[in-house]
Amino acid sequence: MNTLKRMAAQIILSTGLLAAATSLHADVWDTATHGYADNDGVRIHYASVGEGPLMVMIHGFPDFWYSWRHQMEGLQDQYQVVAIDQRGYNLSGQPAGDENYDMRLLTSDVAAVIREFGQDSAIIVGHDWGGMVAWNFAFAYPQMVDRLVVMNLPHPHGMIRELSINEEQRANSGYARAFQGGSPSDPNIFFGGPMMPQTLAGWVQDPTARQRYIEAFAQSDFDAMLAYYKRNFPPLPPLAETAPPLSPDVPQLNVPLLVMHGLDDTALHSDGLNNTWDWNDASTTIVAVPDAGHFVQQDAADTVTDTLRWWLGAQ
């Protein structure tokens, strides 16, 4: 990882650095309250725990609401933590057609969930594709974002820059190109095989959680999963020596922002974090987590939960 250009904005954490320990609770699988928000006929499933300020958590690919179980357990004493199934996944609606997974609709799903709880705004937390939805939700609905947390998904400006000038990032994004042009039944679409619940859940380490993932993916729509890429992943720009101009379609942010990144991520290069602070007028905190991969909220669950408690309490 190259040295980030503004060291004051970077905090390097190792497991156990923060003193606060997460509270022990029963697994949220057994304790969460479930419900649905309606967004123009598409039902968005959510699981909710705790009481307090509303926090909406958005998963990525391939995942579902249960990805946030550790953070839900550790934050429910202070917040109402609501983890959603994005459309196409698990118990949420699965409308047919790539056009039904346009970013405009994905962000409006989050707005529908916030309104379902009778609130005008919430703390927004996203990972991977959930991170992309979180960025775009903040662009489209700034008045509905109290604070913004994004994990392992660079700001769109950083993502486009690295796709333009960083050959390693261009190579790492090869899977996305395959998804854009492929189908779930293609023999080599996902780690050398077709998309199946068992292979999609292969990254989950805990055996009990893995079985729950397999069940969730068995009732998900694989075409919908690929539609996220076909509809929203940026086209690969020509390789360049210098970064392209910033897109005028991406507004400047003005929201307390926390960005967390597992440094062992093999899909998204940490150089994408550089200059994030330039694209937000409010406070920006960047936390790089060593020895954690793409699914940082599970690989370094306690570090992520403790960081959230510290950062939210400091705002």
Chain segment 13-62, per-residue pLDDT in tens: 333 333 333 334 459 999 999 999 999 999 999 999 999 999 999 999 99
- Asked if omega into 62 is within 30° of 0 (cis), the reply is yes
- List beta partners, residue 259: 150, 286
| CA-angle at 42, arms to 39 and 45, nearest 5° | 90
pLDDT digits (tens, 9 = 90+) for 105-124: 999 999 999 999 999 999 99
Residue 189: inside a domain, yes or no? yes
- What are the helix (H) ranges across 233-284? none
CATH number of the domain residue 63 falls in: 3.40.50.1820
What are the Cα distances from residue 197, in Å, to 61, 219, 237? 13, 9, 32
- 295: tokens are 């699914």
Closest CA to 277 of 6, 3, 2, 11: 6
Domains: count for the chain: 1
Number of helices followed by number of strands (H, E) in the chain: 12, 9
In sequence order, which residues have a C-beta less than 8 Å from that of residue 221 and are 6 or more positions away?
Answer: 88, 89, 94
Residue 104: inside a domain, yes or no? yes
- 296: tokens are 């940082």
pLDDT digits (tens, 9 = 90+) for 260-297: 999 999 999 999 999 999 999 999 999 999 999 999 99
Residue 3: inside a domain, yes or no? no
| CA-angle at 16, arms to 266 and 124, nearest 5° | 60
Q: What is the pTM of this model?
A: 0.92
DSSP-assigned letter for residue 86: P
pLDDT digits (tens, 9 = 90+) for 126-175: 999 999 999 999 999 999 999 999 999 999 999 999 999 999 999 999 99
CA distance 299 to 14: 12
pLDDT digits (tens, 9 = 90+) for 175-205: 999 999 999 999 999 988 999 999 999 999 9
State residue 90 phi and psi, 5-degree precision. Answer: 50, -115
Residue 211: inside a domain, yes or no? yes
pLDDT digits (tens, 9 = 90+) for 211-224: 999 999 999 999 99
Residue 154: inside a domain, yes or no? yes
3-class secondary-structure state, position 37: strand
Mean of per-residue pLDDT scores for the chain: 92
Residue 12: inside a domain, yes or no? no
Cβ neighbours around 35 below 10 Å, total: 15
Enclosing domain of residue 241:
33-249
Handedness of CA 100, 106, 108, 114 (dihedral sign): positive
| CA-angle at 25, arms to 305 and 214, nearest 5° | 80
Residue 26: inside a domain, yes or no? no
